[in-house]
Structure 1
Amino acid sequence: MKKLFSPTNVALTLSLLITCLWVVWGVSEMFHEGWYVPFEWLYFLLPAGVMLALTLIGLRWPRAGAVLFAAIGLGLGGLVLWQFRPGGGRSGGWTLTGLLSWVPVTLFPAGVGLLFYRGRGQPRRRAHYLAAVGLPLLLGTALAVGPAYRVAHRLDDGYRGERFIQGNSVALYWAPAGPGWDRDGSIAWNEAALYGRGRIGFEGKRFGAGGLCDWAAHCATQEDMCAYNVCLYLNREGTQLMDTRQDIWRMPTTDEVVRSLVRRGVNAGCVWDGDMGRPSCEVRPDKEIPLWDPRSRVIYYWTADEADEGRAYFVVYHGGVAAIPKFTAMGSRGYRCVRDR
């Protein structure tokens, strides 16, 4: 029993736990966000790979492993202090509750390193290394089988032009590749909503008209989205943004995006109930044509609706509806304009 709970075994168990958690996250995100260009998915496996490497170093060279684990703990602690520093932006500064909540995260790596160091005189068996490598590998393989099959069989005819999607009480034309279909995910909701307000364009509008948009206020409003959104300036062909309003295209509502979701070229039968989460669908939709570009990094579409003063709704390719701060701009979140006729 004493050997079973030796410092080396405890350190290995804790390291395996963290590695496997990263494997679960990595495989999930790999097929959710990273499967759009070759090898992009490796990014999501990097945390698990780093943790595995640290575990092997701790087993083979306990002193070096202890130093590395301790350095990670100190680094995380420093990052937390910097991120939540007073006057450091939108975090609101240090709070006792906030700092204490990060203590386990920062002390855990140091504790694992200490255990490896204390077990430096104990023999390392082949089983230690087999467990360190084999368990995460088996877990990752088991988790990847289903998503890999689904992604490999996604429907994609390669056409990125205008699409007409009809069904589920919705009939809309969706913009072709170009300024009316953001497939790079570089535009925040504020920027899309304020495109025509003041100087035409996106520049300087990410944090609202006055640059003060935060988590709760001073952001673009629902009225701004209706009056100035980028889609209003798109020409009829959907290929160029004009200097004046064309009033042909518009930003789709949350309900319209949800009702237009597809699977294998057929409407998925999704209906939004007005709440965040997964809507009711006849089949689970996927990132497929005609609504999505399966090879684009974008997996979320902004909608015309705001959730509150500081957040706006977006729809995930699998049907999920959520809200995020209006100033958020990231590579996986874009928009696609629509017109009724």
Structure 2
Amino acid sequence: MMNKKKIILGWIGVGITILFSSFWAYWGAFENFHEGWYSTSIWENLFLLLFQYLLFTTLFVLLALISLKWKKPGLILHILLGILGFVFFSGSHMTLRILIITPTILLGLLYYLGNPQPKKWAYRLIISVPLIIILAISIPLGYKVSQRTNDGNFNLRIVEGNQVTLAWAPRGPGWPDEGKSWQEAQDICDYLSEDGLVMMEEKQHIWRLPTVDEIVRSMAIHGNNSGGTWSPETEKATYVKKPDKETPLWDMHSKVIYYWTADTAIKDDQKAYIMTYHGGVFTKKKTSRQVYQSFRAVKNIN
């Protein structure tokens, strides 16, 4: 009877490990090709995939394998992982942090008290299930990323969109490769020189942030306009063809995946609309300043 209980406890631990590692494998593989995979170096991209986006997947798998072989070290390492998760999500609500640390420690206890049999199948499932998820997501998304259009022209661009034509700022202060808040973006636009390359001492009022409607209508895929339209009533953008992180509007080798727009959110004046490279429109607090949130200034064509 005792052996049967140990087997059940062990397989519960294996199941929870597979559940956790699979969740992080799913999240990590998608995020890797959403906000990651921007470097010109394949080795840097792979490093970020393994040690940033798949970090928790790798940790759960390794700890499970160690726990199956050595019970005490496995328990200690699960406790340390729980503490690491508690610290890693320090900016989150306390309830979420408790929900992270508690099951991780309990998982270590399940391995310590349990003994899944046959053990070889425990090893196989712990390794293979998250690996299959990673490959199933990464292969098609990796192929999609490899097909992105990049003409290498990061100068001032005249983009003729869907019933809108604008000049988009060149790489520089009006198109920075670093995070900016909404107000910072507005201020930079005000002082930007005619050619978009220099910050002037006095306000010029030449450049500005694009409206949601303008940027939606300007989005493109493989050099062709995406046929986007924006509905203020539903706060949704729709496209004939889904856009991507491509020139002339985007730099596929930049960390930036969101552009601020000029429009304040309808339901909350503390937020503004922000555009992601695949065409989605969301609201963010105007004070938000993440490395992947920036802007590209525009000006009207006379």
TM over 0.5: yes
Q: How far apart, CA to CA, are the structure 1 residues paired with 2:136 and 2:86?
A: 34
State the Cα distance separating 1:188 from its structure 2 match: 1.0
1:337 matches 2:297: yes
Cross-structure match for 1:271:
229
Cα deviation 1:78-128 (Å, max 9, x = unaligned): 777x757xxxxxxxxxxxxx65565433311111111001025x6662222
Is 1:318 matched up with 2:251?
Answer: no
Aligned residue among 96, 99, 110 for 1:115:
110
Q: Indicate the percent of aligned positions where both proteins have the same amino acid.
A: 36
Is the contact made by 2:185 and 2:294 (CA closer than 8 Å) also made in structure 1? no
Aligned-partner SS, 2:197: coil
Q: Indicate which of 25, 28, 31 corresponds to 2:30.
A: 28
Residue equivalent to 1:149: 143
The residue aligned with 1:133 is: 127
SS for the counterpart of 1:272 is strand
The residue type equivalent to 2:63 in the other structure is L
| Structure 2 CA distance for aligned equivalents of residues 251 and 265 of structure 1 | 22
Distance in 1 between residues matched to 2:22 and 2:63, nearest whole Å: 14
Q: Which moved more, 1:2-11 or 1:48-57?
A: 2-11
Gap regions ≥5 residues in structure 2: none
Q: Does 1:62 align with 2:71?
A: yes
* Counterpart-to-counterpart distance in 2, 1:10 and 1:236: 65
- 1:165 is paired with a residue of what secondary structure? strand
Residue-by-residue CA offset, 1:291-325 (whole Å, 9 max, x unaligned): 10111111100111121232121000111111111
Superposition pairs for residues 296-307 of structure 1, below 5 Å? 296-307=254-265
Query: How far apart, in 1, do the equivalents of 2:85 and 2:235 lie?
Result: 31
1:191 is matched with which residue: 181, 184, 195?
184
Query: Residue 153 of structure 2 aligns to which amino acid in structure 1?
Result: Y
What's the offset of the Cα at 1:160? 0.7
Contact in 2 for aligned 1:278/1:319 (Cα 8 Å):
no
- C-alpha separation in 2, matches of 1:53 and 1:277: 44
Task: Quote the Cα distance in structure 1 between the aligned partners of 2:172 and 2:298.
Answer: 13
Aligned match of 1:280: 238
Name the amino acid aligned to 2:241: V
> Deviation at 1:182?
1.7
TM-score (norm 2): 0.88
- List alignment gaps of at least 5 residues for structure 1: 85-97, 194-228
Q: Does 1:18 align with 2:20?
A: yes
**Which deviations, in whole Å up to 9, do the C-alpha atoms of 1:178-213 show, x marking residues without a partner?**
1110222x21113223xxxxxxxxxxxxxxxxxxxx
Aligned to 2:207: 249
Does the CA contact (< 8 Å) of 2:154 and 2:170 recur in 1? yes
What SS does structure 2 have at the residue aligned with 1:59?
Answer: helix
Deviation per CA, 1:12-57: give whole Å up to 9, x if none. Answer: 1101110000000001000000111132432212221122212212
The more displaced of 245-254 and 167-176 is 245-254
2:238 aligns to what SS in structure 1?
A: coil
In structure 1, distance between residues paired with 2:142 and 2:243:
16
CA RMSD in angstroms, aligned pairs only: 2.3
Over residues 250-307 of structure 1, what are the superposed CA-to-partner deviations in whole Å (9 max), with x where a residue is unaligned?
Answer: 1111111111111000110111112677521101100000010111111100111121
CA distance in 2, matches of 1:83, 1:262: 36
* Other-structure match for 1:171: 165
Change (3 A) 1:72 1:146: same
- Change in CA separation of 1:19 and 1:172 when aligned onto 2, cut-off 3 Å: same
Cα separation, 2, equivalents of 1:140 and 1:78? 26
CA distance in 1, matches of 2:91, 2:188: 33
Amino acid at match of 2:104: P
Moved over 6 A (4+): none
User: Equivalents in 2 of 1:149, 1:259: separation in Å?
Assistant: 26
| 1:88 alignment partner in structure 2 | none
Matches within 5 A, 1:192-231: 192-193=185-186, 229-231=187-189
* Secondary structure of the structure 1 residue equivalent to 2:262: strand
TM score, norm. by length of structure 1: 0.79
Question: Which structure shows the higher helix fraction?
Answer: 2
Which residue identity is paired with 1:263?
I
Cα distance change of structure 1 residues 238 and 23 upon mapping to structure 2, 3 Å threshold? same
**Number of the residue aligned with 1:209:** none
Distance 1:111 1:146, change over 3 A: same
**In the aligned structure 2, how far is the partner of 1:78 from the partner of 1:272?**
40
SS at match of 1:25: helix
Q: What residue identity is the alignment partner of 1:72? A: L
